[in-house]
Amino acid sequence: MAKLSLNRTEIIGNLGKDCELRYTAGGTPRGEFTVAASRSFKKGNEWQEETEWFNVVLWGDEAERLSESLLKGQPVYVEGRMQTRNWDGNDGVKHYRTELVANSVHLLVKPPKREARPAQAQEDTDDIPFE
């Protein structure tokens, strides 16, 4: 009998930084950015706000297509799945990183006009392994 499971995450928030577009050694585009999603709640008689930060990864043609439009402060809707990666760093220490691997990213307002950023065609040299 098949086990039922679901790994789906949806967030609406603002970009914490511009999308960084890189390429794996195999040439696959990989966009990386952060999204801040806030919630309000009442504690006693006062309203409080709490912000959660999400590391988001967007792969392939979508990453290339959207990278110039994903700018700091831009409101976005992101749908995908949570994934925790681990790797051994150059220092011999095991590292962990939890990310929202995006299936789709939607801009909630039209991005502002801005000068084109120079193409970032460098190969990623971080010690963080990619899928």
How does pLDDT run across 90-121, given as a tens digit for each residue? 999 999 999 999 999 999 998 766 665 555 55
Structural domain boundaries in the chain:
15-105
Rounded CA separation 106/112 (Å) = 15
Structure confidence at residue 11 (pLDDT):
98
Question: Which run of H or of E encompasses 63?
Answer: helix 60-66
Report residue 128's pLDDT band, with 50, 70 and 90 as the boundaries: low
Task: Determine the pLDDT at residue 122.
Answer: 52
Position 2 scores a pLDDT of 79
| Tens of pLDDT, residues 52-90 | 999 999 999 999 999 999 999 999 999 999 999 999 999
pLDDT of residue 35: 98
- Report d(CA 127, CA 129) in Å as an integer: 6
Confidence bin at 1 (pLDDT 50/70/90): confident
Give the contacts of 41 (CB within 8 A, at least 6 positions apart). 47, 48, 50
Domain 15-105 has CATH 2.40.50.140: yes
Q: Could you tell me if 15 and 37 are in contact, meaning their C-beta atoms sit under 8 angstroms apart?
A: no
Confidence (pLDDT) at 20: 97
Task: Name which of 16-20, 21-25, 34-38, 40-44 the model is least confident about.
Answer: 40-44
| DSSP notation for 11-23 | EEEEESS--EEEE
3-state secondary structure of 65: helix
Of the listed ranges 13-22, 37-46, 103-112, the least confidently predicted one is 103-112
The token duo for 64 is 């290339």
CA dist 65 and 16 (Å) reads 19
What is the C-alpha separation between 112 and 97, in angstroms, rounded? 31
